[in-house]
Amino acid sequence: MIPPLTVYAIDVNDSKIWFSVNTPYFGNEPRPGMQTAAPGQKPDYTLTVAPGAYYMLAYFEKSYFDALPSGSVDKPGIYSRYTIDCIQATRPNASPPPPCSGSDHKLVPVTVRTGETVSGIDIKDWYYIQGNYPARPS
């Protein structure tokens, strides 16, 4: 299950510059009142941004977060060194998995040039070790 998310590209140098896209709920059981992915739809996203360098984060979509138990913390999933070195580098049924320190959860800037499409930016690091990430833009 992947809850509905808002994916953000936040400018590395100015957090007031950002772009976002909402993703639907991916799971076996549709949730009332939630945009649900179509059968067979892959859990991915497309985000159009201006040329620049961005940190990529995802927060639970606001209505989903608001429905969580009181006291829930609004922390993001991030695109980090851990995502690249540990999660993306691990292949199904790999033996052994790649060595991972598991401690480098720093944001990795993604540079986008004019007319360029960047792919493979998987926001899969939900381990809040560093915790010093940009706040949800508003």
Task: Tell me whether residue 123 is in a domain.
Answer: no
Task: Tell me whether residue 130 is in a domain.
Answer: no
DSSP line for the chain: -B--EEEEEEESS-TT-EEEEEE-BBSSS--TTS-BPPTT--S-------SEEEEEEEEE-HHHHHTSPTT-----EE-BHHIIIIITTPPTT-SSPPP--S----B--EEE-TT---------B---SS---PPPP-
Task: Tell me whether residue 40 is in a domain.
Answer: yes
Structure confidence by residue, pLDDT tens digits, 10-45: 999 999 999 999 887 777 766 666 777 677 777 788
Task: Tell me whether residue 128 is in a domain.
Answer: no
Structure confidence by residue, pLDDT tens digits, 99-136: 676 568 889 999 999 999 999 898 888 876 656 788 88
- What total number of domains does the chain contain? 1
For residue 23, what are the domain limits? 5-112
Task: Tell me whether residue 138 is in a domain.
Answer: no
Task: Tell me whether residue 76 is in a domain.
Answer: yes
The model's confidence at residue 98, banded by pLDDT at 50, 70 and 90, is low
Structure confidence by residue, pLDDT tens digits, 78-92: 999 888 888 777 666
